[in-house]
């Protein structure tokens, strides 16, 4: 008997339908075709044991499995459950005619338990797009799949529940959740708050500007000045995720297997902080079995690179194109995948190898030229993509010991949201531009052109501080964001003055006079 089961394969962050055809006929043997990898081929032993320990008889006949389309490689153990159901149905141990209405995915344990898998959310989306009635997944993944509305989502613990469901001997109830209600209930919960940060008002202001305009930011300061502590609080002042952004972000983490068991829609912007020993493949994605990298896991959120110059030059340079294009295309001999990478880069570094260059109380012990050599680990093209560069000074004792409460993240976030709303209206209908940091040269001339007084001040500053021409557009973008925070339709001279103060490393003499 021939039976067809609906499955799916994940390609990039989307799912591709896979039709699993199972034939059980006279003879003896097991053959599986359709570009299965080793994990899929090994499924026979898992299925055999799972069926046996579940109290059912495994067919001792000729079993042929075809996984279509045959030119797409089938990877992983998530095909165990659909293969097992297909074999049992082809052997007439399942008599239902409803199997073709459902997508079935899951990994089997030797005792028949159904184990969690990766990529359930894009699979559920594909099942709905293809007009299927429902999807059957491991119970550990059911909340993730239940995000998709207009689709019956069933979570199962073992293979007997699936066979009983199709044979009408076991009742399965679909899992239903109110996605919008759950999303809005958890969207404002954060573990860290800027009210816990004493002093550093200039850095907090720089963070506010960066979040309001989506600008990349680099912090330069001595050890213990609070760079990492403040960076961890950035998600609390970022604009809240929209439902569409949350769905897209959750899909990426689902494919990468980074969602916690039993979790559903992500409600907070991701904050990824990889160690400086990370490889280029781990950062941008790819590998033998392609998976999203850190820049994609940080999509719609923050990628924090602590100890910035300690990252290898090759790792840092692969970020140049994604920082501009907001996506990464990985092309290899056997595959090409595209992952979104619309992240805000936040980097921190010491000013020199010893860490105390420009420190108010501690002396730098680095040899002559070491400061500039240390900064040169970051290439000019990469530094050019960082809009805000600010020095972080150590906090004075009086500020640390003060009982005066600092401004809360909620207060700062309100101003950020208002500025983003202005930008949303400004770029309404413009493709691929959502905030000031993404403006093109034409849009800069249209929306961020300074008045005569401001232009003169900018010309003066660039000549006096010996800034490069590449800083011009970046300064105007940041000035436009500062004007948005100020609720001002025009870029004034004082907006430019503040934007200029955030270009510390553009000074040609920074670190060379030591």
71-128 pLDDT, tens digit per residue, is 888 999 999 999 999 999 999 999 888 999 999 999 999 999 999 999 999 999 999 9
Q: Distance (Å, rounded) from C-alpha 169 to C-alpha 442?
A: 66
Task: For residue range 391-400, list pLDDT tens digits in order.
Answer: 888 887 777 7
Q: Name, in order, each residue with C-beta under 8 angstroms of 404's C-beta and a sequence gap of 6 or more.
A: none
pLDDT surpasses 50 at 430: yes
Q: Give me the sign of the Cα torsion angle 422, 200, 382, 234.
A: negative
Q: Distance (Å, rounded) from C-alpha 197 to C-alpha 219?
A: 16
pLDDT of residue 429: 83
pLDDT of residue 139: 94
pLDDT surpasses 70 at 469: no
Q: Three-class SS of residue 4? A: strand
Q: What are phi and psi of 484, to 5 degrees?
A: -65, -40
Q: What is the DSSP letter of 399?
A: H
pLDDT surpasses 80 at 270: yes
pLDDT of residue 397: 75
Distance of CA 500 to the CA centre of its chain: 31
* Contact predicate 204/333, CB 8 Å: no
Task: For residue range 47-70, list pLDDT tens digits in order.
Answer: 999 999 999 999 989 999 999 999
Task: For residue range 377-410, list pLDDT tens digits in order.
Answer: 888 888 878 899 998 888 877 777 777 778 899 9
pLDDT surpasses 70 at 310: yes
Instruction: Return the CA Rg of the chain.
Output: 28
Q: Name, in order, each residue with C-beta under 8 angstroms of 154's C-beta and a sequence gap of 6 or more.
A: 134, 135, 136, 137, 142, 165, 172, 173, 174, 175
pLDDT of residue 512: 46
Task: For residue range 200-249, list pLDDT tens digits in order.
Answer: 889 999 999 999 999 999 999 888 888 999 999 999 999 998 888 889 99
């Amino acid at each position: 008997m021939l039976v067809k089961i609906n499955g799916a394969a994940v390609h990039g962050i989307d799912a591709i339908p896979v039709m699993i055809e199972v034939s059980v006929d006279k003879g003896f043997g097991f053959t599986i075709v359709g570009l299965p990898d080793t994990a899929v081929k090994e499924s026979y032993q898992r299925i055999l044991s799972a069926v046996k320990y579940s109290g059912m008889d495994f067919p001792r006949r000729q079993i042929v499995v075809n996984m279509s389309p045959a030119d797409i490689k089938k990877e992983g153990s998530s095909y165990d459950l659909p293969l097992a159901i297909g074999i049992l149905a082809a052997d007439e141990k399942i008599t239902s005619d409803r199997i073709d209405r459902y997508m079935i995915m899951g990994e089997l344990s030797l005792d028949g338990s159904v184990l969690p898998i990766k990529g359930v959310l894009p699979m559920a989306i594909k099942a709905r797009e293809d007009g299927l009635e429902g999807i059957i997944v491991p119970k550990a993944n059911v909340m993730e799949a239940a995000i998709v509305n207009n689709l019956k989502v069933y979570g199962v613990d073992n293979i007997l529940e699936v066979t009983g469901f199709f044979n009408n001997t076991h009742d399965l109830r679909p899992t239903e959740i109110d996605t919008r209600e759950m999303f809005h209930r958890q969207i404002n919960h954060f573990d860290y708050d800027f009210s816990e940060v004493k002093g550093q008002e200039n850095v907090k202001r720089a963070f506010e500007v960066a979040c309001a305009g989506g600008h990349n930011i680099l912090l330069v300061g001595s050890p213990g000045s609070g760079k990492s502590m403040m960076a961890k609080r950035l998600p609390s002042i970022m604009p809240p995720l929209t439902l569409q952004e949350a769905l897209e972000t959750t899909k990426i983490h689902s494919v990468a297997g980074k969602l916690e068991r039993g979790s559903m829609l992500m409600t907070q912007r991701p904050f990824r902080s990889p160690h400086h020993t990370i490889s280029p493949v781990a950062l941008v994605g790819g590998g033998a079995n392609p998976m999203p990298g850190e820049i994609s896991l940080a999509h719609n959120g923050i990628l924090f690179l602590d100890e910035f110059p300690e990252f290898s030059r090759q790792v840092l340079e692969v970020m140049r194109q994604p920082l501009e294009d907001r996506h990464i295309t990985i092309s290899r001999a056997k595959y090409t995948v595209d992952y979104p990478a619309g992240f805000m880069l936040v980097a921190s570094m010491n000013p020199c190898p010893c860490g105390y260059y420009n420190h108010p109380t501690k002396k730098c012990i680095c040899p002559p030229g070491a400061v500039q050599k240390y900064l040169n680990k970051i290439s000019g093209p990469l530094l050019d993509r960082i809009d805000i560069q600010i020095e972080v000074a150590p906090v004075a004792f009086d500020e640390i010991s003060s009982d005066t409460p600092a401004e809360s993240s909620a207060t700062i976030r309100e101003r950020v949201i208002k500025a983003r709303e202005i930008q949303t209206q400004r770029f309404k209908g413009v493709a691929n531009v959502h905030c000031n940091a993404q403006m093109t040269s034409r849009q800069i001339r249209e929306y961020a052109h300074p008045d005569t007084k401001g232009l003169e001040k900018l010309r003066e500053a660039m000549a006096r501080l010996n800034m490069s021409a590449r800083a011009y557009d970046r300064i105007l973008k940041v000035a436009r964001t500062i004007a948005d925070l100020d609720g001002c339709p025009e870029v004034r001279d004082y907006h430019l003055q503040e934007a200029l103060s955030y270009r510390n490393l553009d000074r040609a003499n920074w670190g060379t006079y030591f």
